[in-house]
Amino acid sequence: MPSYKIGQAAELLGVSADTVRRWVDDGRISSTRTESGRRSIDGAALAEFAAAHTAERGADIVVGRSARNRFPGIVTRVIKDKVAAQVEIQAGPHRVVSLMTCEAADELGLAPGVRAVAAVKSTSVVIEIAES
């Protein structure tokens, strides 16, 4: 499972690194310390927090965007049946949902906590894996 530095978590949540540090200090997000003493946040825990935090804030944020937008975020949920998969990404304040084949989701290794980018053009949402 991937883990994230404070700055990476802040980017994925659409907040400042200081805000993430405060949330960690308040116990809202759990973290561990690396051998070098830096804080590390488990990807699955960050995904769970991202989904809950956005639900707390509400979905009333509106941002004007044009076609071909790219939304870097973190996968919060993957639901699969025999053929299709529904993938949810929390990209800052935006929840993006994509439908794809199970084969595509498996090939990308999509699971809660994985960093990904939702590329949006018209009514299609394509999921890509973000560079580390």
What residue type is assigned to position 47 of the chain?
A
What residue type is assigned to position 21 of the chain?
R
Q: State the pTM of this model.
A: 0.58
Mean pLDDT of all residues in the chain? Answer: 85
Over residues 15-70, the pLDDT tens digits come to 889 999 999 999 999 999 999 999 999 998 898 898 887 666 554 444 444 446 78
From the options 2.40.50.100, 1.10.357.10, 1.10.260.40, 3.40.47.10, give the CATH code of 69-129.
2.40.50.100
Instruction: Determine the topology of domain 3-57 in CATH.
Output: Multidrug-efflux Transporter Regulator; Chain: A; Domain 2 (1.10.1660)
Closest CA to 14 of 113, 95, 88, 87: 95
Judged by DSSP in three states, 130 sits in: coil
Distances from the Cα of 20 to the Cα of 38, 84, 103, angstroms = 13, 34, 34
